[in-house]
Amino acid sequence: MSNELKLYNSLSREKETFQPLKEGYVGMYVCGPTVYYDAHLGNCRTFISFDVIYRYLTHLGYRVRYVRNITDVGHLLDDGEDRMLKGARLEQLEPMEVAQKYTVGFHEMMRIFNVLPPSIEPRATGHIPEQIEMVQDILKNGYAYEVNGSVYFDTLKFMQQTGLYGTLSGRNVEELMAESRDNLKNQSEKRHPADFAIWMKASPEHIMRWRSPWSEGFPGWHLECSAMSTKYLGAEFDLHGGGNDLKFPHHENEVAQNFGSCQCKGARYWMHTNMLLLNGKKMSKSDGNTISPHELIAGDSAHVTKGYSPMVVRFFMLQTHYRSTLDLTDEALQAADKGFRRLMDGHKTLQSLQALPDAQPGALDAELLELMAGVADEMNDDFNTPKALARIFELVSRINALKGGQLSLDQVAPDTLDRLKQLFQEFIFGIFGLQNDDAADGDDGTLDGLMQLIIDIRAEARTRKDWGTSDKIRDALKALSLQLKDGKEGTSWGREV
């Protein structure tokens, strides 16, 4: 396998070799949340996926500027009411108070799932001038028109003149163009159903409003991503990501706006994560088929039999490729729980292995090296985390066998063992972003010391063949969900799942 990075580009619908615009640097934009409601697990999956991608690109040595926005204005509901305004009315809060509340909640959730903060996290409301400028540019280029203080993107004209519309989302342009004005219903300001607002005149009761050359109003939903990606990453940049459900119309319109404003191509590679399903259906706030991250962690939901730690959930998600749908079920989570524990135990065991200086590297050494190389190879193939994890689990088997004595360390070169330790550290924690739950308990080492004492006392009892005492200790610990593992080299312990 080659060590060049390949990724699936939604634009071409093919895996392509990744070639950044500027060697050594990557500009990456991911559509962030709309902060008018609590983040749900689907959001988490997408941001965890891109977190791993961000981490891996960094691992490869790229200097990555990762921009992930916060949308706090412009997102319209079916009835045309601004989402921020809706939230404000329901809870009697200022719109920015709503945005702030859910932004904080979102950040907290990202922290819980160990998602790294992006390099820049721009807010739509903080970039009104940039958006107004973009509307002006689009108007100047003739791809928009003003009606009663609102400005609409002239999608029909754009389609006819550039032929660029629909490429990303695979729309049938003929069909889009064929739609008549009859489909417009009450939104009669638009000339064509495919047109979309880039500036909206605010109705009298609308709270969020800014002055513009056309009216006091607010920017259209799709505009902020075009404006902010251009501002921070340039007119053309490397990667743009987001959930699959944003492909149309959001991303398609983004591309149109970029080109319509400056003939800019925008992102060269588009990446889309697939949906998280619950009981075989898409998780969605609107139809109630949902479980919140808090509920999942606490086990406070009819969908799960117990709570799952954030790291188990993260691991669960990494066991599926980002472009596949993932069906969340209690059974699958239980399997992930145990698998995650096995991975963590394997890592712990590995770090305890001591190399033999006079080892004679043989077939085992070669096998380890091959498996290790495979981990990176899989990641280079469109960030295939499930396959990379499969390679790591194969390594875990070897590690356990080395510990258990079924395989011998005198066949492993000290350098190979060192590299293996380093690889586990880098991939499990640095790239997959997993954390050991035990460490997250706030354990300061007291427990470990206590356990060591108990293990020593039990070992003494065992040398006396005092099985009663030995078993009493073992059973009592088991009742506390602490498991003793007797091995050739002594006894170790861990938490039971």
Q: Please give the Cα distance from 228 to 217 (Å, whole number).
A: 19
Nearer to RNA among residue 91 and residue 415 (C-beta): 91
**Helical pair 83-91 and 95-112, crossing angle rounded to 10 deg:** 100
| Among 14, 205, 331, 358, interactor with RNA by CB under 7 A | 331
Q: Tell me the closest approach of the beta carbon of residue 366 to RNA, in angstroms.
A: 13
Q: Please give the Cα distance from 464 to 460 (Å, whole number).
A: 7
CB-facing half-sphere around the CA of 306: CA atoms within 13 A: 10
| Among 57, 159, 372, 484, interactor with RNA by CB under 7 A | 484
| Among 137, 236, 245, 437, interactor with RNA by CB under 7 A | 245
Q: Pick out residues in 7-36 that bind RNA (CB under 7 A).
A: 31-34
DSSP string for 44-65: HHHHHHHHHHHHHHHHTT-EEE
* Contact by Cβ (8 Å): 270, 11: yes
Nearer to RNA among residue 137 and residue 345 (C-beta): 345
Return all residues near 120 (Cβ < 8 A) that are at least 6 apart.
65, 66, 67, 68, 232
Q: Pick out residues in 94-153 that bind RNA (CB under 7 A).
A: none
Q: Rule CB under 7 A: is residue 386 a binding residue for RNA?
A: yes
β-partners of residue 67 are 29, 120
Q: Please give the Cα distance from 94 to 58 (Å, whole number).
A: 39
Nearer to RNA among residue 263 and residue 351 (C-beta): 351
Q: Tell me the closest approach of the beta carbon of residue 168 to RNA, in angstroms.
A: 11
Contact region for RNA (CB under 7 A) — 21-29, 52-60, 202-210, 248-256?
248-256
* Contact by Cβ (8 Å): 208, 85: yes
Q: Tell me the closest approach of the beta carbon of residue 79 to RNA, in angstroms.
A: 10
Instruction: Read off the tokens for 129.
Output: 């001038």
Instruction: Read off the tokens for 253.
Output: 């319109």
Contact region for RNA (CB under 7 A) — 43-51, 88-96, 124-132, 425-433?
43-51
| Among 77, 298, 366, 459, interactor with RNA by CB under 7 A | 77
Q: Pick out residues in 202-221 that bind RNA (CB under 7 A).
A: 221
Nearer to RNA among residue 127 and residue 192 (C-beta): 192
Nearer to RNA among residue 55 and residue 83 (C-beta): 83
Q: Pick out residues in 288-327 that bind RNA (CB under 7 A).
A: 319-321, 324-327
What are the angstrom distances between the C-alpha of 382 and each of 6, 82, 207, 271, 276? 5, 37, 44, 10, 19
Report the C-alpha dihedral over residues 326, 331, 333, 337, rounded to 10 degrees: -140
Q: Rule CB under 7 A: is residue 1 a binding residue for RNA?
A: no
Q: Rule CB under 7 A: is residue 175 a binding residue for RNA?
A: yes
Q: Rule CB under 7 A: is residue 463 a binding residue for RNA?
A: no
Nearer to RNA among residue 435 and residue 483 (C-beta): 483
Nearer to RNA among residue 62 and residue 196 (C-beta): 196
